[in-house]
Amino acid sequence: MGPWNSVADVVLLLAVALLLGIVAERLKQNALIGYLFAGILLGPSGFRVVSDVEQIRGMAELGVALLLFTIGLEFSLARLRELGAVAIGGGSLQILLTGAAVVLLAVGLGRPLAESLVLGGAVSVSSTAIVLRVLLDRAELDSLHGRNALGILLLQDLAVVPLVLMISLLGEGATGREALEQVIVRGGIAALLIGAIYLIATYISPRLVHEASSLQNRDLPVIIAVALCLGATWASHAAGLSPILGAFVAGMLLAESPFAQQIRADVAPLRSIFVTLFFASIGLIGHFPASDKLLMLAGLVAAIIAVKAFIVGGVVRIFGFPPAVAAATGLALAQIGEFSFVLLELGFRANIVAEETFQFLLSASVATLFLTPYLAAAGSGLFRRMSERASTGARAEELAESAKGDGRGRVIVVGYGPAGQEAVRKLQEEKIPFLVLELNARTVAANRSAIPIETGDATQTVILDHHALPEARLLIVALPDPVTAQMVIQQAKHVAPAVPVIARSRYHIHAQKLTDAGANCVVDEEALVGTTLGAEVLRILREG
């Protein structure tokens, strides 16, 4: 009877998580918040419907392994390098500074050092799932602050692995020389484990997946992927390491496999179920704070948001980005993420984090996640206002040198991504003089010897004036971020209303906004793709 009671609990928990996940999505929140509230409502602090909490939490640990496995499948060092120094250097610095600030504050409040270290690690990571969802919904993933946020989030995901290892060592009470010896020993064991997983992932698994695919049996690739994930998880646990370390490494090594996309697709449904169960199980051991603690909770939430936004923004500024970009990036990453729950739970189970501290920080985490969409919107608004203020206050002598010549009759291209590069190629073919304005200094330095390109923020009227926009023949706005593109067009029409503007709209939904901003012509990428697809369909049908 016992196992069937557990099954009933799981079914009820998943059903309520589904309903509350839908409600959360309707409220423009991430479904994870609904899953957490499902656990709180059904658990010991709510209606006490779920009885076998420990059995469910044991199954939910599979969700963590599958989550880390798929994160490893999506992780790419090449992708991290593409996002620039702010991803690797800035992400590392942000984790160290945030962690140090939290540790110092916690120790100052009388918390044990081991607990303070766990809290520092938990607060230092942000929510990859929710931030990326919000940035995608707002079409800001390709903006400067969106790319910065993505780079830092990727580094944070990678940092979860050593943070888990740190918590495991703290849970065993290792200090000083013992801790150092444990790190060396476990580092050697980890190296051997990674080597074994590498051999399996490189030489055995691809052949098995290929053989299974050739048999056209959809079950076999799923079994192979899950077996590899759980096998690596068990091997890591048996070697005295964190179980999820093995899952992450297995996924990361398979990421270079030609079957990575297929494995990710095969595991996705299982991951969705077990991850839902994991977050709901976190809610089972959480509870709503007492009324007399609400003011203290609000203060903690405000402090977390302020500290993280300030540190992230400061780090982004160190890497040379304008204050407006730094502020928007800081607010986007000011929450505590889903991996914070993993780290806090590990600390709680290892008796490092006290139950009261765990419950309080769990409540604060949910609150910061709930506020994330509003913080991202506030960051975008702040970016717009700060950029407009900078455009009126900047001094011409502080600007970069203009390209040679007086600028008469040339085309100005704003943005040197793939779209901007294609526009420049066409201008070069027709021998039309042009100047590229690009905010990324590394892109400018890499192309300065080949084309006329200058560093400049085209949302600032003084930049457009300095580069003689009123005397230009045409302005091309090739930026993927619709908010920034809209600002550039508005400023350009203010400086030079007679100069025609051609703008790129990555999504159809933003095309009208760019037209309203003053663009004379908007290239709608989605409409263009649809037209090309239709033409190709007709061509193939006629040839057939």
Tell me the two tokens of residue 396. Answer: 């011409």
Where do the structural domains in the chain lie, given as residue ranges?
A: 2-386, 397-543
Beta carbons within 10 angstroms of residue 199's beta carbon: 12
CATH for 397-543, among 3.40.50.720, 1.20.120.1200, 3.30.70.1400, 3.50.50.60? 3.40.50.720
User: Strand pairing of 521-524 and 474-477?
Assistant: unpaired
pLDDT tens per residue across span 245-280: 778 778 877 776 666 777 777 777 777 787 788 778
* pLDDT at position 405: 44
60 φ/ψ sector (left φ>0, alpha ψ -120 to 50, else beta): alpha
Those residues of the chain that have pLDDT short of 50 are: 1, 392-405
- The helix/strand/coil state of 120 is helix
**C-alpha count within 13 angstroms, C-beta hemisphere, residue 443:** 19
Query: d(Cα 487, Cα 479) in Å, to the nearest integer?
Result: 11
- Read off φ and ψ for residue 524, nearest 5 degrees: -85, 110
Count helices and strands in the chain by DSSP H and E runs: 24, 6
Query: d(Cα 305, Cα 542) in Å, to the nearest integer?
Result: 60
- Read off φ and ψ for residue 354, nearest 5 degrees: -65, 150
Q: How far is CA 208 from each of CA 35, 62, 201, rounded to the nearest angstrom?
A: 36, 23, 10
Query: d(Cα 131, Cα 149) in Å, to the nearest integer?
Result: 8
* pLDDT at position 404: 42
Domains 2-386 and 397-543 share a fold: no
* pLDDT at position 400: 40
DSSP letter for each residue of 44-99: TTTT-----HHHHHHHHHHHHHHHHHHHHHH--HHHHHHT-HIIIIIHHHHHHHHH
Strand partners, 46: none
* pLDDT at position 473: 92
Q: Which CATH class for the 2-386 domain?
A: mainly alpha
The residue count for the chain: 544
* pLDDT at position 401: 40
pLDDT tens per residue across span 127-171: 877 787 677 667 677 777 888 888 898 788 778 878 887 887 787
Among 126, 151, 108, CA closest to 343: 126
